[in-house]
Amino acid sequence: MRTIGLVLTLLLGSTLTGALDAQDVRPRLDRRVSPEVQRAVQRIAADAAVQGLPIDPLVQKAIEGAAKGVPADRVIAAVRALAGRLGQSMAAVREGGVSTPGGDVVEGGADALNAGLTGREVSDLVRVSRPPQDPTLTLRVAATLAALGVPAKQVLTLLQGLISDGRSQSDLLGLPGQVQTGVAQGATPAQAAAGLARAAGGLPPGRNPDWVPPGQRKPKHKP
Amino acid sequence: MKTFDLRVKQLLDGDLSLADLPPELRAEGEEALRLLAAVDRTAVTLSPALDTRVMAVVRRHAKSPVGRAWRWLNTPRDVELRLRVRPWAVWAGALAAAAALALLLGRAVPAPVPGVQARGGTRDSVFVRFVLYAPGARRVAVAGTFNQWDRGAALLAPAGTSGVWTTTLALPVGQHQYAFVVDGARWVVDPSAPAVDDGFGRRNSVVAVTAEGAHL
Amino acid sequence: MGVLLGLEGEATDAEVVRAVLAGDVERYAVLVRRYRDRFARYAARMLGSRDVAEDAVQDALVRAFDRLADCREPDKFGGWLFLILRNRCFAERRRNRREGRLPEDAAEALASPERSDGAMERREQARELELALGQLTPEQREAFVLKHVAGMPYEEIAQRTGATVASLKMRMHRAYDRLRELMKEYR
């Protein structure tokens, strides 16, 4: 029941925040950003809406830039870059087997891309996250682990191993905290993550870190 | 490489005795036991000065202002919200999940339960505590995706003269990015949270809020 | 320090932890005294040297103090401290490997003093085994040390290290074979 509740609340999150129309952009940006930024973001948002991409993150990024006192051209560049990542994420998520991705999973993929994972790695993570796993959650945890300094390939191995072991969503959500604990005790992020993989039994001792559980595709190397 | 028979390994594990082994494995079993017998089990005692050294460092850490503030944050308190170390890990209970289920089934949203609510809290939000150690700051706020990056919306309050600033906010379920704003102008990431590139040459901290609590 | 040893000896770990968290820093000395030697053998066997082990135990005790409020079950302080020490040992071993520290040095450092009753052969075998242990992976070595030096049952090792009993046995069985192979080479 808790797992269902968790999945539902994540879905609810997307219902509440994700479904912004391109027309909703203007009132949100009004008096928060300069007219120049507002015009540019409206155009970018309109293009994104046509592709079926979530608009809210673009609006948030523009407001954030303005709040931080960033010059207009840099704000616009950042919003455009984010739109690009969302598009890339959409393609990667579709490649991973989700034919009509919702806003949340596309955002999750964009976060993962921003943290340094490749499109292919995003697809791989989506592919292994069949129900009851939620690809949005997998991607968010992956992004957080990468943000903590765990190498991308290891993020994949760790998550794929835990998912194929049948671990719960709570277990996945707890990973970044455990990596941080390991780092606080003197390990590097990579060592902490490797320790978690071993402790979970997902990576037998002495095995090559590239080892993938039987029945899964081997993770592709970064070009 | 000639490996030990599985039964000999079980003998070493203590799951079998030598008598349990078939005659043809006895010799191998004895060889294995001889290997184990070579293990040096003598106790190792460390130098008596260890205690003194440890306590000397411990006293130093206890005296430092950061150490004091850190332990103040860490001390479990009997607060309704069960606030803990990091700026998250606060539990909203099953209420949020139940509300979510109700909404998705299309029924009327149940009325809020009195006593669970606080400043701005709703059914599907979780109380999250933000903490920053910033001695010498005159003003500390937290801004993020949950409050439109408004530098004035969520001010932290100083905890005495410890240099520690805190506030508790009700955050909706989902993933949030945020940063602290010190003295109205200096953007500072949360040192105990993961940080991501903000696209402007700086970094934002990240927290994921679910019905079960807040996670990194 | 003025500690009343008699009374201190009766305080549980949980009581001492709470006292320290409440501000009585000096009480931490009770935990230091209680645990300083308990894992010394484990650390020495993992790291191959009493001196290095002493540094590791000292670091672990200090870290445990710094993070004391993270100890969710204060009555299981020992187990929690063990994990901190364990992480420290693994980190040290990785550092050693990177710096090319040879297992032979380790075996020498741990050699028991010369025995006048002439138990030379036993000492020689112990040294060979120590050398061989140094060649195992850290996980294999740890499993072996905990089971056959510290005498822990698999269930307890599983609890302390977070591994499953099945994976521990797999590890151990590989270790047995590897040790057999290595000990043959030393003959």
Q: What angle do CA B13, B19, B21 make, to 5 degrees?
A: 65
Question: pLDDT tens for residues B82-140?
Answer: 333 333 322 333 233 333 333 333 223 333 322 222 223 344 677 788 888 888 889 99
pLDDT score, position A222? 45
Q: Percent of chain A at pLDDT above 90?
A: 52
Residue B98 lies in a domain: yes
Q: Which of B17-21, B66-70, B80-84 has the highest mean pLDDT?
A: B17-21
Whether C87 and A199 lie within 8 Å, measured CB to CB: no
B32 lies in the same domain as B82: no
Q: What angle do CA B209, C64, B57 make, to 5 degrees?
A: 130
Chain C residues touching residue A201 (CB < 8 angstroms)? 163-164, 166-167
Whether C58 and B12 lie within 8 Å, measured CB to CB: no
B149 lies in the same domain as B200: yes
B150 neighbors B187 (Cβ within 8 angstroms): no
pLDDT score, position C65? 92
Q: Which two tokens stand for residue A90?
A: 């959409």
CATH number at residue B136: 2.60.40.10
pLDDT score, position C100? 67
Question: pLDDT tens string for chain C (187 positions)?
Answer: 233 333 444 688 888 998 888 888 889 999 998 888 888 888 988 888 888 899 999 999 999 998 888 888 888 898 889 989 998 888 887 777 777 655 444 444 454 444 444 456 777 777 788 888 888 888 899 999 999 988 888 988 888 888 889 999 999 999 999 999 888 776 5
B13 lies in the same domain as B110: no
- Rounded mean pLDDT, A85-96: 95
Residue B114 lies in a domain: yes
Please list, in sequence order, all residues whose beta carbon lies within 8 angstroms of the beta carbon of residue A21, skipping any fewer than 6 positions away.
Answer: A49, A55
pTM to 2 decimals? Answer: 0.49
Number of Cβ within 10 Å of residue A146's Cβ equals 25
Chain B residues touching residue C110 (CB < 8 angstroms)? 40
B153 lies in the same domain as B100: yes
**In which band, very low, low, confident or very high, does the pLDDT at A18 lie, cut at 50, 70 and 90?**
very low
Q: How many domains is chain B built from?
A: 2
pLDDT score, position B89? 28
Q: In which element (H, E) is residue A136 found?
A: helix A135-147
pLDDT score, position A123? 96
Task: For residues A192 and C181, give the distance between their C-alpha atoms in angstroms, rounded to a whole number.
Answer: 31
The answer for B 103-132 residues in CB contact with A (under 8 A) is 103-104, 124
Residue B69 lies in a domain: no
B107 lies in the same domain as B180: yes
pLDDT at B39 over 60: yes
Question: pLDDT tens for residues A95-126?
Answer: 999 988 999 999 999 999 999 999 999 999 99
Question: pLDDT tens for residues B169-216?
Answer: 888 877 889 999 999 989 999 888 888 999 999 999 998 887 666 776
What domain range is B25 assigned to? 6-37
Residue B203 lies in a domain: yes
Query: Where do the domains of chain C lie, and which CATH numbers do they carry?
Result: 8-101 (1.10.1740.10), 103-187 (1.10.10.10)
3-state secondary structure of B179: strand
Task: For residues A113 and C171, give the distance between their C-alpha atoms in angstroms, rounded to a whole number.
Answer: 36
Least confidently predicted of B32-41, B51-60, C107-116, C137-146 = C107-116
Whether A9 and B211 lie within 8 Å, measured CB to CB: yes
Mean pLDDT across chain A = 82
Of the candidates A151, A154, A149, the residue with the CA atom closest to the CA atom of residue A196: A154
Burial of A171 (0-12, 13-18, 19+ CB in 10 A): middle
As beta bridge partners, residue B182 has B140, B186
B110 lies in the same domain as B199: yes
- The distance of A1 to chain B (nearest Cα, Å) reads 9
Torsion of CA A71, A77, A79, A81, to 10 degrees: -150
Q: Which two tokens stand for residue C103?
A: 């297992």
Task: For residues B24 and B27, give the distance between their C-alpha atoms in angstroms, rounded to a whole number.
Answer: 7
ipTM of the predicted structure? Answer: 0.76
Question: pLDDT tens for residues B143-177?
Answer: 999 999 999 889 998 877 778 888 888 888 778 89
pLDDT score, position C7? 42
Task: For residues A200 and A184, give the distance between their C-alpha atoms in angstroms, rounded to a whole number.
Answer: 20
Please list, in sequence order, all residues whose beta carbon lies within 8 angstroms of the beta carbon of residue A84, skipping any fewer than 6 positions away.
Answer: none
B33 lies in the same domain as B92: no
Residue B165 lies in a domain: yes
Whether C67 and A184 lie within 8 Å, measured CB to CB: yes
Whether A191 and C90 lie within 8 Å, measured CB to CB: yes
Which chains share 3+ C-beta pairs under 8 angstroms with A? B, C
Question: pLDDT tens for residues A114-162?
Answer: 999 999 999 999 999 988 888 999 999 999 999 998 999 999 999 998 9
**In which band, very low, low, confident or very high, does the pLDDT at A200 lie, cut at 50, 70 and 90?**
low
B125 lies in the same domain as B21: no
- The distance of B22 to chain A (nearest Cα, Å) reads 31
B25 lies in the same domain as B104: no
Residue B112 lies in a domain: yes
**In which band, very low, low, confident or very high, does the pLDDT at A21 lie, cut at 50, 70 and 90?**
low
Of the candidates C67, C105, C102, the residue with the CA atom closest to the CA atom of residue C83: C67
Residue B116 lies in a domain: yes
**In which band, very low, low, confident or very high, does the pLDDT at B73 lie, cut at 50, 70 and 90?**
low
Task: For residues B50 and C77, give the distance between their C-alpha atoms in angstroms, rounded to a whole number.
Answer: 19
